[in-house]
């Protein structure tokens, strides 16, 4: 609306100037001057009324006032009054719709033709016909230029509006995608937590089942073997009882391991507790040298390290006469992690050869036979894409070296 007021204000100012020039050249007097003044005041006043009432029908009245001005003029065609038609056409294209502006333009052309018709009785010549045709062509050209210009701006505004709307939709879509992504991550975390808790529950259930069933059965078997040994004093019975106790001890270790979840956030603390308990029970000096806090690793890598260390400690206590053991986790220059476990003992199984062809190839440089625990270590490492090397040497002791990449989430 402010834009329309500005345009009508410019039209009012231009109309006043042109009216003064027209009156000067008309040199009218008496009633003709009164009529001219009345029509000019009506033409100029309609602009003010249009601002106040916002009426669009005033343009058709104003065209009629311009017709009256041309009729009263002492000139056959007063160019200043005809310029009023152009002013009305230009203003209407800025203020009205394209359809209404075209109506004002066609009305102006028609009234200009009536002006021509009214001067026919006073004589007609080719110069006057050419002048009329020229004026009509000017009106047509102005209307055409304004029509296409207005059409361009209308379509441009539509395109800008569509672009703004699309931009708003894009922003809304991005926000929706961010929300979905956040929800997906939350769902993934929840799913991971459910899996973790399920595994803990399964371990606890399995540990309970082993303890309540197999543990009691082995204990009963040991008692029966000892009774036989007391009755018959058979060395084989004593050896069988010792072997059964070893099986019971190994089972209890397995139950204890199953009851501990290495995937908790306190894996590092639990591992240190296990190492401290091992040192207190076996009197083997332990060197714990981890450059990396394993709590910063993914669950599967934490579990692999936890199980490997426990298996290594068990093997050292059971199968060697070591007095010291080193547990090390280092970051290599390549970015890989190296888990290295070394003791200074000598394997009690040295001298035993692997029975299968696969084991002989696997341990070509080692004089010991791998048990299930070491095989499980290799399998865990292989599943994570790492490499493992197990060495038993009379001078260097027993060594486990595991190299792997990934799993860190600092």
What would the pLDDT profile of 374-410 be if each residue is shown by its tens digit? 888 888 899 889 999 988 876 777 889 999 986 665 5
Q: Sheet harboring 337-343: ordered strands across?
A: 285-290, 324-331, 337-343, 397-404, 387-393
User: How does residue 362 score in pLDDT terms, banded at 50, 70 and 90?
Assistant: very low
Instruction: Answer yes or no: is pLDDT of 365 > 60.
Output: no
Q: What CATH number corresponds to the domain at position 370? A: 3.30.565.10
Q: What does the pLDDT look like over 313-326, one tens digit per residue? A: 888 887 778 899 99
pLDDT at residue number 123: 63
How many H helices and E strands in the chain? 12, 5
182 within a domain of the structure (yes/no):
no
**DSSP assignment of 27-90, as one string?**
---HHHHHHHHHHHHHHHHHHHHHHHH--STHHHHHHHHHHHHHHHSSSSS-HHHHHHHHHHHH
Share of the chain above pLDDT 90, in %: 17
Q: What is the mean pLDDT of the chain?
A: 80
For residues 356 and 305, which has the higher predicted lDDT (pLDDT)? Answer: 305
User: How does residue 364 score in pLDDT terms, banded at 50, 70 and 90?
Assistant: very low
Which of 76, 96, 124 represents a domain boundary (last residue)?
124
Share of the chain above pLDDT 70, in %: 83
Q: Which of 280, 275, 279, 283 is nearest to 308 (CA)?
A: 275
Owning domain of residue 64: 2-124
Cβ atoms of 105 and 143 within 8 Å: the answer is yes
For residues 201 and 359, which has the higher predicted lDDT (pLDDT)? Answer: 201
Q: Tell me the range of 21-35, 65-79, 137-151, 216-230 where mean pLDDT is highest.
A: 137-151
pLDDT at residue number 288: 93
258 within a domain of the structure (yes/no):
no
Instruction: Answer yes or no: is pLDDT of 359 > 70.
Output: no
Q: 174-183, 251-260, 293-302, 387-396: which range is least confident on average?
A: 251-260
194 within a domain of the structure (yes/no):
no
Beta bridge partners of 331: 337
pLDDT at residue number 258: 65
Rounded mean pLDDT, 249-267? 65
pLDDT at residue number 356: 41
pLDDT at residue number 348: 55
Instruction: Answer yes or no: is pLDDT of 74 > 80.
Output: no
184 within a domain of the structure (yes/no):
no
Q: How far is CA 75 from CA 69, 81, 114, 116, 206, in A?
A: 11, 10, 15, 12, 116
Q: What does the pLDDT look like over 12-37, one tens digit per residue? A: 788 788 888 877 777 777 887 888 88
User: How does residue 148 score in pLDDT terms, banded at 50, 70 and 90?
Assistant: very high
147 within a domain of the structure (yes/no):
no
Distance in angstroms (rounded) separating the CA atoms of residues 1 and 84: 23
pLDDT at residue number 2: 61
Rounded mean pLDDT, 36-46? 81
Class of residue 337 by CB neighbours under 10 A (exposed 0-12, middle 13-18, buried 19+) = buried
Q: What does the pLDDT look like over 83-138, one tens digit per residue? A: 888 888 888 888 888 888 888 889 888 888 887 777 766 666 777 778 888 888 99
Query: What is the value of pTM for the model shown?
Result: 0.45
**Number of residues written out for the chain:** 410
271 within a domain of the structure (yes/no):
yes
Which of 89, 108, 124 represents a domain boundary (last residue)?
124
Instruction: Answer yes or no: is pLDDT of 192 > 90.
Output: no
For residues 241 and 147, which has the higher predicted lDDT (pLDDT)? Answer: 147
Tokens 């065609």 -> residue: 77
Which of 81, 102, 124 represents a domain boundary (last residue)?
124
404 within a domain of the structure (yes/no):
yes
Provide the number of structural domains found in the chain.
2
10 within a domain of the structure (yes/no):
yes
pLDDT at residue number 367: 53
């Amino acid at each position: 609306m402010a834009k329309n007021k500005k345009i009508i204000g410019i039209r009012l100012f231009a109309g006043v100037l042109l009216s003064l020039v027209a009156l000067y050249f008309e040199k009218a007097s008496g009633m003709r001057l009164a009529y001219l003044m009345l029509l000019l005041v009506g033409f100029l006043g309609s602009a003010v009324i249009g601002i106040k009432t916002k009426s669009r029908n005033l343009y058709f009245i104003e065209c009629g006032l311009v017709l009256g001005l041309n009729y009263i003029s002492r000139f056959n065609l007063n160019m200043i009054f005809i310029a009023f038609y152009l002013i009305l056409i230009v203003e209407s294209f800025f203020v009205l719709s394209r359809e209404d502006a075209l109506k004002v333009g066609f009305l102006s052309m028609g009234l200009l033709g009536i002006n021509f018709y009214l001067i026919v009785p006073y004589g007609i010549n080719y110069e006057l016909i050419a002048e009329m045709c020229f004026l009509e062509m000017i009106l047509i050209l102005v209307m055409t230029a304004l029509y296409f210009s207005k059409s361009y701006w209308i379509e441009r505004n539509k395109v800008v509006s569509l672009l703004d709307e699309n931009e708003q939709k894009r922003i809304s879509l991005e926000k929706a995608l961010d929300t979905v992504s956040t929800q997906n991550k939350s769902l993934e975390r929840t799913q991971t937590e459910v899996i973790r808790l399920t595994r803990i529950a399964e371990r606890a259930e399995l540990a309970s089942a082993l303890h309540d069933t197999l543990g009691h059965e082995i204990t009963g078997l040991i008692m029966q073997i000892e009774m036989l040994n007391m009755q018959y004093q058979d060395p084989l019975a004593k050896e069988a009882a010792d072997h059964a106790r070893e099986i019971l001890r190994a089972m209890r270790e397995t139950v204890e391991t199953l009851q501990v979840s290495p995937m908790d956030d306190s894996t590092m603390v639990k591992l240190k507790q296990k190492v401290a308990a091992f040192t207190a029970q076996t009197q083997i000096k332990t060197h714990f040298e981890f450059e990396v806090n394993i709590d910063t690793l993914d669950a599967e890598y934490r579990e692999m390290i936890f199980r490997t260390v426990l298996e290594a400690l068990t093997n050292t206590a059971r199968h060697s006469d070591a007095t010291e053991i080193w547990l090390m986790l280092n970051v290599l220059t390549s970015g890989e992690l190296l888990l290295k476990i070394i003791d200074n003992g000598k394997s009690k199984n040295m001298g035993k050869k692997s029975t299968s062809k696969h084991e002989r190839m696997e341990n070509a440089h080692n004089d010991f036979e791998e048990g299930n625990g070491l095989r499980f270590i290799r399998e865990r490492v292989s599943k994570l894409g790492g490499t493992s090397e197990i060495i038993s040497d009379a001078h260097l002791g027993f060594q486990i070296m595991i190299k792997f990449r990934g799993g860190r989430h600092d």
